[in-house]
Structure 1
Amino acid sequence: MTHPIPKDDHPAAVEPHYGSTVRGRQRFSRPEIGAEFDSVLLGGNGAKLFGLRRMGKSTEAVACAERLRTQGLTVVEIDTQGLVSEADLLMRLFASLPAKGWGDRVLQAIGGDGNIAAVAREALRQQNREGLGDVNAYFNTIAVAIERALAAGPAAADNAAQGRILLFVDELPWLCRRILEGDEAKGRQRIDQLFAALRRWRDSGMGMLLIGSIGLVGLGREYRLDMNHLNDLTTLSVPPLGTADEAAAFVNALAAGGQTRGWSPVHTQAVLDESAAYYPAMLQKAFQVLTIGGAAAALERIADLFADKVRPELDKTFFEQFDRRIKLYRAIGEPLAKTIPLICEVVLAAAAPISRDEIRRHIGADLPPSLDEPTAENPPLDEADLGDALEMLREDGFIDVRVARDGSQLWRAASPLVRAWRIRRRGGR
C-alpha cells in the first residue's frame, strides 16, 4: 500500500534525528497542532502541556515560540532542569529578557522598589548565583514589581499582541518537586506563592506555557497545594500522528531527507505495521535502526529488527515511564493510591469509551475491602477525588476525555501506546 504525501501540509524531506528537540530541517511540521498552540497562546492567559517524555512537547513548544517571535512577540524559554529554587527561575527570566524594552522596564521596576534589599537587586542585575538566597527572601516583593512592569507594558497599554511577552517554562513540575522535597518546613508555602505570582503575571499580560513530563495535579494532591492558581490555563497535548497517511508521509520524508538507499513504499508500510503508535520519536527510532549505513534494511529482516532492537528500546524509553507514574501514585495517599490503578485498568480494558458513572460503578465493585469500609486511614472516594484521579491519569498520558454538550464525560485510552503498554505488562493479554 502506498501513502501520498500531503505536500501542502508537510515537508517532503526531513533530516533524520533521534534523541532531542528537533527544529528547522529536522522537524516534521504539524499544522493543526501549530494552529491550536498559536491560537491558545495569543487568545488567552496561556496553556499547560504535560505528558510523557519524548512525545514531541518541547519540539512543538519551540516551533510555537519561533512562530510567535516572527509576529513581534517576546518569547522567553526557560528549562528548569538543574534549577533548585524560584530564585533560579527569576535569574533565568532576567537573563533571557531583551536588554532593551522588557529587560529595562523590569529592572527599573525592581531597582526603584525600596522594599527589595539592594543585595537582592544587585544579584539579579549581575546574575550572581551567590545571591540566590537573598533573591528567594524577596521573591514575593520582586514578583509584585514584575507585575507592575507588565501592567505598564505595551501589551497592557495597546491591548495588542505586538510587544507582548510570553514565558515558556519547561519541566516546571520537577522544579516544584525539588523545592518541596528540599524544604519540608516551607516548601508548600513557597510553591503556592510561586503559582500565585505566575497567575498575577498572566493576569497582567504575560502569556504562559507550562510544560512538564509529569503532571501538576498529582503533585498538588500529594503536597496539598492550591491548584486554583492554574485554572486559567488551557490544556494542550501532542497526540501521535493522526492517520496512517500522515505517519507514512513522515517516514517517507525521513527517507528522502536521509537520502536512504533502497528505501521503498513497502519499507514504509512495514514500519507502520510494526509500530505500536505513530509518535514521531518512535518512528524516528525505527527508521534509525532500519537504515544503518544509509541503506534500507532487507525487508525480511524488519520484523526481527523490531523485535530485537526497536521494541526493547521503546519499552525502556516509553513504557517504563508509565510504570514509574503508577509507582508515584502510591505517595498520594488514600483513597487515590489504590483506586487510580483501578480506574486506569477500567478505562483501558473497556472496548469503547466509558462514562464517569460507569467508571465509578466499576471501581465500586472492585475496591479492596479496606476501601469499602472507610476509616481515617482509608477515607471514602468522593466526586472531587474521582475528578482528581481522572485528571492525574489524563495529565500523565494514560487516558483522555470527550465531554458532550450536556456535560457528560466519555473516557478512553489516550493513545494506542498506552494500550500497548497495558498488553505488554499483562503478558500479552
Structure 2
Amino acid sequence: MRPMDKLKPHYGYGVSGDRFWPRPALVKQILIGLERSESLCLFGPRRTGKSSLLRECARLLREDADFTVIEINGEGMDAVASLFNQIVASLPNNNFTGFKARIDQLKMPERMYELIDIWRGKGRAGGEDAKLVTRHWASVAQAITQSIPDMESRPVLFIDELTYLCENLYDNTGRSEEVTRLLAMLREWRGEGMGMVIASSIGIRQYLRKIGVSRNHLTGCNPIHVGPLDPANARMMLAALARQEGLDWWDESIAQAVMDQSTDLLPACLQFAFKYVVAARDDARDDIEGPPFNALTIDAIFKDRIRPNFEHEFFRQFDERFGEYETVEQDAAREMFRCIVRSTRSSRSRSYDDLYDAVEGALGQEKTDAVDLSDLIRALEDDGFLIDRREQDQIAFASRLVEAWWLTRDHRRKRRRD
C-alpha cells in the first residue's frame, strides 16, 4: 500500500478509499487477524482514526469472495431489530439460504417471517415490529448462530461504536439484562466462527461496570492500538494535502514546523493543523501590513488557533473519561501516571511491578489491594490513557496527547478556578 500523491482534506468522520491515508501496518494486522479467525477491538478517544480503519478494512475485505462483510454503526441504533436488519440484509443468497431454512423451522408469528422478507429489501419495519423482534430475539440469534458454520463465505462483522449501541439499548429498555444478552450473543457468534472487529470511542469496560454487566463477554477480543504516524509518513501526508489544494507556498520548513508544534502525529491532528494553517495563510495574504508567512509564524498559529481548539476537544474527552473511575481507582491511576513520567524521556514506560510498587508506596497496601491493577490498566488502555506493550513487559502513555493532558492538567484546573 503506497502513500498517496494527493489527499483530500477532511476532519471528524470516517473515510475509506482515496480519502483514507494509508496505514498499511494496521490494516495488515487487522486483515491477517480476521483471516486467522481472530476477533479484534479498537478502543480509545474520538478522532484517532478507528472508524476510518474499520471502513477501509471492510472495503478491502469485500474484494475477497471468501468473506461476507457486515458493517454496523451502533451510534444510531437503539433496538436489536436494527442489528438483525443489517445482518440479514447483508447476507448474500448463498449464506441466507441456511439461515432462512432454520428460521422456517421455528414457531414464530407470521409477522416475523414477513419481517425477514422486509429486511431483505421488500419493505420497511415500524416501531411495533421492533418490539416484536425483541420478544423473539433469542430465536433469531440462535438461527444466525447455527447458520454460521455452514455459510459458504465467512461472515465478518464490523461494529463501530459498540458502547453507543449498548448505551442506547439500556436507555431504551432500562434493563442491563438486554445489554448482557447482546454481548453474550456477539460472543457466541465469535465462538462459531464469525469474524468480528469492534470499535468504540467510549470506554466500554467502565460503562459495563456502571450498569452492572460482566466484562467477561469481551474475552477473546484482541486489542489493536491505533497510534500516530511516524515522522516520515506524517511529512508525506502533509505534502499530499498541500498538492491536493495546489499550495505552491507549502514547503518542507512549514511541514516540519507543523510537525514540531503538533501535540501528536495522528492523522486527525495533522488534518486539523493543516486546515488552520491554510486559513491563516489566506488571512496573511489579505493583510498587506502583516508579517511574512513562513515557518516562524507557525508557533503563533498553534498558540492562538490550533492548540486551544484541538487540545480542548481531546483533553475534555480525557477529563470526562477519567471522572468515570471510582475515587480509589483515580488515586491509583494518578500514581501510575506519575511513575511513568518519572521514567526516562526516551522510554516513558514502566513495568507492571514498577507501577504496583508506586501505587502501594503512595496509597498503602490496603488501598492498593482494593484495586485490581491488571483490570484497571486494561480499562485505562481501552479508554486511550495507557498502552500495554506486552511483548516488552512495559506500560506507557498511549500517545503524546495523553502525556500532554496529564502534564498540563493541574495548570488547566488552576486556570479554570481563576
Shorter-chain TM-score above 0.5: yes
**Is contact 1:84–1:179 with CA below 8 Å preserved after alignment?**
yes
Distance (whole Å) between structure 2 residues aligned to residue 309 and residue 285 of structure 1: 10
Distance (whole Å) between structure 2 residues aligned to residue 26 and residue 296 of structure 1: 27
What's 2:89 paired with?
95
Residues 224-253 of structure 1: CA distance to partner in whole angstroms, max 9, x if unpaired? 423333222211121100x21111111111
2:195 is aligned, of 195, 207, 227, to 207
From the superposition, tell whether residues 255 and 295 of structure 1 become closer, same or farther in structure 2 (CA, over 3 Å): farther
Distance (whole Å) between structure 1 residues aligned to residue 341 and residue 154 of structure 2: 42
Where does 1:8-407 land on structure 2 (aligned, <5 Å)?
9-72=2-65, 73-98=67-92, 100-114=93-107, 116-126=108-118, 127-130=124-127, 131-154=129-152, 163-184=153-174, 186-187=175-176, 189-241=177-229, 243-292=230-279, 298-299=293-294, 300-330=296-326, 335-336=328-329, 338-351=331-344, 352-367=348-363, 380-381=369-370, 385-404=372-391
**Is contact 1:215–1:392 with CA below 8 Å preserved after alignment?**
yes
Question: Match of 2:109, as an amino acid?
Answer: A
What's 2:290 paired with?
none
From the superposition, tell whether residues 343 and 397 of structure 1 become closer, same or farther in structure 2 (CA, over 3 Å): same
**Is contact 1:348–1:413 with CA below 8 Å preserved after alignment?**
no
**Is contact 2:205–2:215 with CA below 8 Å preserved after alignment?**
yes
Question: Match of 2:190, as an amino acid?
Answer: R
TM-score normalised per structure 1: 0.85
Question: Match of 1:27, as an amino acid?
Answer: F
Residues 286-322 of structure 1: CA distance to partner in whole angstroms, max 9, x if unpaired? 1111113986961143221111111112123212111
Instruction: Specify which structure has the higher proportion of helix.
Output: 2
Larger mean CA deviation between 346-355 and 289-298 belongs to: 289-298
Distance (whole Å) between structure 2 residues aligned to residue 104 and residue 349 of structure 1: 60
Larger mean CA deviation between 289-298 and 24-33 belongs to: 289-298
From the superposition, tell whether residues 342 and 88 of structure 1 become closer, same or farther in structure 2 (CA, over 3 Å): farther
Residues 372-406 of structure 1: CA distance to partner in whole angstroms, max 9, x if unpaired? 667xxxx9425xx111110011111111122248x
Residues 190-220 of structure 1: CA distance to partner in whole angstroms, max 9, x if unpaired? 2222122112212222111111002322223
From the superposition, tell whether residues 373 and 422 of structure 1 become closer, same or farther in structure 2 (CA, over 3 Å): closer
Question: Match of 2:102, as an amino acid?
Answer: A
Alignment coverage as a number of residue pairs = 394
Q: SS of the residue aligned with 1:269?
A: helix
Residue 152 of structure 1 deviates from its aligned partner by 2.0
Distance (whole Å) between structure 2 residues aligned to residue 19 and residue 60 of structure 1: 14
What's 1:4 paired with?
none
**Is contact 1:348–1:412 with CA below 8 Å preserved after alignment?**
no
Residues 1:426 and 2:410 are matched in the alignment: yes
Q: SS of the residue aligned with 2:42?
A: strand
From the superposition, tell whether residues 296 and 208 of structure 1 become closer, same or farther in structure 2 (CA, over 3 Å): farther
Q: SS of the residue aligned with 2:325?
A: helix
Distance (whole Å) between structure 2 residues aligned to residue 312 and residue 175 of structure 1: 31
Question: Match of 1:282, as an amino acid?
Answer: C
2:400 is aligned, of 413, 416, 424, to 416
Distance (whole Å) between structure 1 residues aligned to residue 211 and residue 342 of structure 2: 31
Distance (whole Å) between structure 2 residues aligned to residue 404 and residue 151 of structure 1: 33
Distance (whole Å) between structure 2 residues aligned to residue 418 and residue 404 of structure 1: 22
Identity of aligned residues (%): 29
**Is contact 1:76–1:96 with CA below 8 Å preserved after alignment?**
yes
**Is contact 2:94–2:151 with CA below 8 Å preserved after alignment?**
no
Residue 36 of structure 1 deviates from its aligned partner by 0.7
**Is contact 1:86–1:136 with CA below 8 Å preserved after alignment?**
yes
Question: Match of 1:16, as an amino acid?
Answer: P
**Is contact 1:9–1:29 with CA below 8 Å preserved after alignment?**
yes
Distance (whole Å) between structure 1 residues aligned to residue 342 and residue 206 of structure 2: 23
Q: Which runs of 4+ in 1 moved over 4 A?
A: 293-297, 371-374
Residue 144 of structure 1 deviates from its aligned partner by 0.5
| Contiguous gaps of at least 5 residues in structure 2 | 119-123, 285-292
Question: Match of 1:268, as an amino acid?
Answer: A
Distance (whole Å) between structure 1 residues aligned to residue 268 and residue 7 of structure 2: 13
Question: Match of 2:262, as an amino acid?
Answer: S
From the superposition, tell whether residues 120 and 343 of structure 1 become closer, same or farther in structure 2 (CA, over 3 Å): farther
Distance (whole Å) between structure 2 residues aligned to residue 146 and residue 294 of structure 1: 56
From the superposition, tell whether residues 349 and 399 of structure 1 become closer, same or farther in structure 2 (CA, over 3 Å): farther
Distance (whole Å) between structure 1 residues aligned to residue 322 and residue 147 of structure 2: 43
Question: Match of 1:306, as an amino acid?
Answer: F
RMSD: 2.5
From the superposition, tell whether residues 88 and 341 of structure 1 become closer, same or farther in structure 2 (CA, over 3 Å): farther
